[in-house]
Every structure is written in structure tokens, then in C-alpha cells.
Chain A
Amino acid sequence: MDIRVQEDSFDLGAEANAFAARQKGMGAVVTFTGIVRDLGEGDLQAMQIEHYPGMTEKAISKIAEEALSRWNIGDILVIHRHGVLKAEDLIMMVATSSRHRVDAFQAAEFLMDYLKSRAPFWKKEVTPEGADWVEAKDEDEDALSRW
């Protein structure tokens, strides 16, 4: 299990390759990457991501432990950034490995659903009109009930 909370960007290809190369006896690697989406017409000047140092790492580890206990998973990688990002910057990635693909796919979805509403990050969008905190969506909370 490799959990990283960092300000710096990361190299998606290098991380995915290194993760895949570490796996022994695994037939599947699934990766998901979150990217800062522009609001259209280049309106997004910045996305600020605040987090709760100390709790963030613990909360993500707990979610990853839960995934390991539910699915037949070889390994999990989570990288999540904080600080000031711009449109098209990478925000985060998860990678999972398993012997057969279903476990890796499901565990990656589970991780994403829980990271969205149970890991202490808060996003703020800065546009020419001002800065606004991104509101949590009901559907993000609802997504947890399927697990």
C-alpha cells in the first residue's frame, strides 16, 4: 500500500509503470486519474485544494485497508495533491492490482467513491467572478450506499 499526499505534480505514466512492475502474479492493473476540469472558455483561473494534514493520510489508509479486506487485491497506490492547481493539471490517481480484472476495477471505484466524500480535502474554484468552495453533491454521498 502506497499513500501519498503531496503538493507536487506526478508523472502518471511513470507511476503506472512502476506500480505495474512491482506486482507479482497479478493479471490486472487498473488506474484512475482525476484532472482539473475547466469550467469552459478558460474561466477557471485556479483550483485550490485544502486538506487536513495528519488526518488525510489516516483517512485514505483506512479506505485502502477496507478495499484490501473486501476484494482480492494485490496492492493499492493513491496519490492526491493539494495546493494551487490549474485547469488540466492532474489532481490525483489511484492504481489497484488483482489476479483477475473485476477485483481491481471494483476496488478502484470503491476507492474513488470514498475518497470523494470521506477523505478531508476541500476544493475551491477561482474564476474572474471570485472564489467559491465546491459543494459536495448528494450523488457523491449516495454513491457510498452501493458498497
Chain B
Amino acid sequence: MDVLYFAWVRERIGHPKDKIETNAGTVRELVEELRSREERYEAAFADLDALRVAVDQELTDFDASLDGAREVAFFPPMTGG
């Protein structure tokens, strides 16, 4: 599965993308796996209220299923326009 990071999430983690093998069933479980990796992941995922998530390029929430998901992206609230 590809895990992508944007804006300050990318900066805190230090790179834009991880390719990972995971059995996580939901986004929240994936976040727990990532947090246990290293300090910088813990720092990036410290406050989930400050984060948004997309699964296969569709905005969703942290309880979303990862069944069949190919791409998960984490980023701060968007500031377009």
C-alpha cells in the first residue's frame, strides 16, 4: 500500500511517501502502526484532529476501512482557493 504525506505532515515525517505491507483494517489502525515506527511519525500523528485522510483519493475519516485500499494519504486541513 502507498502511504502519502502532504504539507507539514510530509515535512515532519521527512519524505512524501512510504510503501508498506500492513494488516491494518482501518485508517486508525494504520496510524497506530505508523506511530510506533519512529519519533517523527509519532510527532506527525500526535493530534488526529489536526489531520485529514483520503483513501484511494477520496476524503474519508479515521474509522474508514482499508479493505482493498491501494493508497492512503494524510494531510492537514486544506487551504485552496
Contacts and interface: CB of A to CB of B under 8 A. Distances in A.
Interface residues of B, number: 16
Contact of B7 (A59, A115, A122): A122
B77 A117 contact: yes
B73 A52 contact: yes
A92 B79 CA distance: 13
A40 interface: no
Contact of B80 (A58, A119, A133, A141): A119
B4 interface: yes
A135 B75 CA distance: 12
Nearest to A123: B79
Nearest to A122: B7
B76 A120 contact: no
B81 A120 contact: no
Interface in A7-55: 34, 50, 52, 54-55
Given A52-B75, A122-B7, A117 B57 contact: no
Contacts of B54: 52, 55, 120
A50 B80 CA distance: 9
7 contacts: A50-B7, A52-B75, A55-B54, A59-B59, A121-B78, A135-B76, A141-B77
